[in-house]
Each structure stands twice: as C-alpha cells, then as structure tokens.
Chain A
Amino acid sequence: MRRTFPLELVMIAVAVAFLFPVYTLVSLALKDPGQIASSPMALPSPPTLDNFADAWTAAALGPSLVNSTVITVVSLVALIALGSFASYFLARVQSRLGYGLYILFLLGIVLPFQLGMIPLYRLVTDLGLIGTHAGMILFYTGIQLPFTVFLYTGFIRALPGDYAAAAQIDGASHLVAFTRVVFPLLRPITGTVLILNAVFIWNDFFTPLVYLGGSGFETVPVSVFAYVGQYVSQHGLVFAGLVLGALPIVVVFLALQRYVIKGFSSGLKG
C-alpha cells in the first residue's frame, strides 16, 4: 500500500531472525527431554510447563526475587540521586579542578573490575556489610557512578543554563533550583540511566555470588546458576531456569519500553 512496504517486509524478516535465539530458548524450555532429543528445532508439541514448575521450586526463586528487587531499586534511587547532583555540579563548574574531578569519575569506566576486587572485599568485610543488602547497594552505587555521571553530565551540558538561572533570580537556593527546575528536565536521561543501571545490577552474577553466597540473601542470578549447575544436560530444565531468571527484567522493560527507548533517544544527544 505504501512506498515503505518493501522496507517493512525486510525489517520484519530481520526481526524474525533476531528472535531465533529467543525461540530456541523458550521452545526448549517447553519441551520434555524426549522432544528435545528427537526434534530440537520443532515447535513444542504438546508444550509442557513441568520444567518451569520444577525450576521455580528447586531454585527457590521467590526469596531471591525479593532480594534482587530490594538491591536493584535502592541502588537505582541512590545512583540517580548521587549521580544527578554530582553531574549538575560537574557540568556547570568552570575550574580546572572541577574538570579534573570529572575525568577522575570517567576513569572508573576504564578500570578492569579485577583490579580492586580483593581490597574492596576486605573493606566491605571491615564495614561489616558482607552478606547484607546494604553492602551490595553500596557496591553498585559506587561501581555504576562513573557511567551514570558520564550520561548525566553530557545531557546537562547540552541543556540551556537559563532555567536554573531564572529560578535563582527568583531567589531560590541551589538545592531548590536543582530539584524543582533542573531535575525534572533530566527525565529523559534519567530513564536511560534507570534502565541501563537496572539491567546491569539485576543481571550481575559474580559480585552477589562473592558477597552474598551462603547468606540467605542470594539474588536471582545466583539462585538460577546454582540451580542450572545441577542440571547440566537437561536443557529443558536449564532453559526454564534461565527464562524465569530473565523474566522479571524483561517484563519491566516491556512495561516501560516506550519510556525507555524514548528516554534513550532524547537522553543521549549530549
């Protein structure tokens, strides 16, 4: 009907190809071992939910979901608060020292995580935060600040300075000017910051394994991989476990997707 029709067809074909791994994942999770062995690629017939039932109970995902949610949400709030305030300063400050501080934050993006692993673990132990939500929240807030500052600062630099200035003419303090005027303007980039950090924190496996292993506070990836590790060759069970582990973040993404992608688009212009 339209000029764009051929392009539309091509893009849909590409999307179908993109979905092939997802199809493999979900269809295997819905098959019993017999079907996986005889026809790994076919549609599950009949589909079975047994794998999911088994994965849900055996991996004890219920409590892990609570742990992951607590850690992710509080870390995000801390990151957005600390990151936006710091970036507002870093984007506006004119001195060399201020610029140096910005570079210091960016340094965190290039450092390999292995470098400070043992000293950090020692520090968190000394603070008495091993095996607690607070320890993980502190860790994620610190480790993701560089990227958060990078995104916020770029965006704030591209904003006209007028609004905050105008607010200050009205006699508002810096704090009021920022929270009432500037922060709301940061909504698009906050969306980006939110989703990228949420994805990282929710999916991180190694740190919670080291810091929370054996504490009863395990996060979803830790529980999922402990479960998956026992069922090496039963792909149906393994993939059902993986689907359950990924589901919460995918659902949140789908619910907020319009906001997320839009935020990205207007957020990364800086």
Chain B
Amino acid sequence: MEVTDVVCPLCGCVCDDVVVEVEDNKVTKVKGACAVGKSKLMGHGRITSPAIRENGVLKDCSYDEAIKRAAEILAAARRPLMYGWSSTVCEASKVGIELAEEIGAVIDNTASVCHGPSVLAIQDVGLPSCTLGEVKNRADLVIYWGANPAAAHGNHMKRYSYISKGYFLPEGKKEKKLAVVDVRETKSAKLADVFIRIEPGKDYLVLSALRALLLGYDDVVPEEVGGVSKKDLLELVQMMKETKFGIIFFGMGVTHSRGRHNNIVNAIQVTRAAHKHTKFNIMPMRGHYNVNGFNQVCTWETGFPFSVDLSEGYAWYNPGETSSTDLLMRGECDAALFIATDPGAHFPGESIRHLSKIPVIQIDPYANPTTEFADVVIPAAISGIEAEGTVYRMDNIPLRLRKMIETEYMTDEAIMKGILKETRLLTLSRRL
C-alpha cells in the first residue's frame, strides 16, 4: 500500500510530501524524505516490553505494572522533573502538563538545551518572522548564521529556501543570493555566494557592528570586528539593503556560543534595523520535529514555553533556574521522567551522575543510553508511524502526523493518561 502526503517525524522542517510504501504492516520504502528522515521512517531497534529495575536488573512487566510504578515514583517525589516532549505529539504533552500540575513537577522540553536561548531572545525583543512558504515565494537573500542545513535539515534549502522555486522567484536560486556566517567553512558555506567567517565567540560583536552599519553609523565601527573586516561587513550590509525580502536562519552555532541568547537578541535587532531599508525576517532552525509544538502547548496551557516549575501550584518560569540540566547539575530533583528523549546521551556528565542517584522513568520507542540507568522503562508507539497527532513546524505551522501501521504499543498520550490516573489515585489518598 502506498501512503502519500506522509508527514515526516524527524526534524523541524516537518516535510509533509513524503511517500511511504507499507507492506505487511511494515514500512518498506520511503520516497521524498532526506536520508535521516528516511532512516527514521524505516524504523530500527525497539524496546520490546515494559520493564522495572529490580536489584539493578531490568525485568519485563506489564504496561499496568510499569505505569503504576511510575505513578508511585512521581507521587512520592518532592521535586520531580518531567523532560523531553520534542519527539512526540502535542496530545501527549497536554497530558504531561496536567500531570506536572497534579504532582508539582518541573516540566521542560529539549528547547532548554537547544533553542531555549532563541525563546529567551524573543521575550526580550520579539521575532519578525514568517512561514517557510513566504521564504520560498519571496526571499531573494537567504542568510544562514551558525547553521548548517546541508547536514542537519536535509530538505530545508530545497523545499523552503535557497534552492526552491517560488511565485516571485520562478527561476529559483538563479534569482537568489545565499550568505553563510559561521566559525568554519561548512558544507552549506561552500554553496554560498558570500561566506563570512567569524572568530568563535564573537557573534555578538559582529551583530552589533552590522546594526551600526545598517543604521548608517559607519564612522564608529572599527576596521575589524570579530575577525571580519569592515569591508566584508559593508558588503553584507549592502546585500541586505538591496534585497526585496531577506531572511536570516540561525542555528545552534549562535545560541550556544559566548553570549548565548543575547546573540539572538542581537541578530533579531539586526533584522529590526534592516527594516529601515527593506523587509527582513529571522527564524530559528528548530531541531526536533515537535520541539516547537511542546513550546506552543506549554505556552497556551501555562503561559510559558518551557522550563516551567509547577511545584507551588502555579507556573514559575525561569530558565537557568528551572531548566533541566541546571536542576540536575544542582542536584535538586528527586525523581525524573524522560519521554521521547535521551538525556543519557545529551546531558552533561554531572547531570547524569545525579540521575544515577534518583529514580528515573523512561518512555520511548527505542532503547538508548538512558535505558541503561532507567528504573522504569515503558515502550511507546512511534508518533508519525504508529500514532497520529499534532506537531508544529519550525515556523509554527501545525500539521497532523499520520498513523500508517497498527501496533500493540501504547501511545505516549495513552501512557501519560495512565500515569495521570494512577497518580491522581495516590495523591488523592495522600490528601485524605
């Protein structure tokens, strides 16, 4: 059976024109996805059964037993953390937020270790942006800053930006310019009309200089800023002034170098300054397919996008204090639930050391380094293949993932509902 218009559950591009062949309830062929997306859709090693760790060894159990054990851990905890949510659907996140409220947990998603700084920056200055189709139809200048889509977002240039054809740019890249700013010459940089190489950690300075130049204060800017000559900066500024519609896509090269979210504030300030001359937008290159979706749901449900501390019954938001890695490095948490994520592979060593001291619940389709130390392991259906639900693309467009394959695995949403129900029974008896 051929399934068309499949929505790819891999990266923030959320390509929705993938074609998948399904035979005998298995994906046998994938067309139109990038290599990484294809590999995800084809599937790989799964956790086979729910399990609970006893005397250091994971022992298989039923879903009911695992869910009950998870509920016991969370209901007993004084400072539980619930983290992940970026590779699952919004429907699961909603239940997760309700559970976090019920048990007074901190709820956080992977944004706190990737584009959290971008969100903080938006909260300082806002975000002049657009949907990806706007870029495709109008953008004659595309700037990737600290981002390497050729490696991380396989279809981004082809579907949405430099290489795509659009209404006002029917000839595609012939009519467009591509600039790349990075600390090294990436694969994407090799395609660029202009590549500006900056010294590591100097993004902030370069961005301030660009603002001054866009505003016409050429005289104050020194001859070299952050390893870039004033001449090169002026050339980029000229390109920005001449474009009809420009866009900056930025990646973790800027969010995670010195200055972090303030680099993004400054990059947004560049687009604000560019509006004196033309239309200019900016967009973060979000990583996981639904990292944005969790931020959206968490914002409309709690008022805040991630790192939300519900311990006192209301939402307290303060990344740096209430973000997962900070909480774990400070040793604050006494229990943790991880869903659709792998802190075992991505968190700093100090956080992992703390996790080894406290009970950990893992919900995931796949075994990963977190499984090695999790106390309760609950396998889940794969969203976008075995389960449907809502995801938000990097440009805030909501799409619905499809279910193509029948499965015995419970969905993330169903697992969370089970834990919520069991936890309510426990907290209710505690109150009584």
Q: Do A and B bind each other?
A: no
Interface residues of B (CB under 8 A from A): none
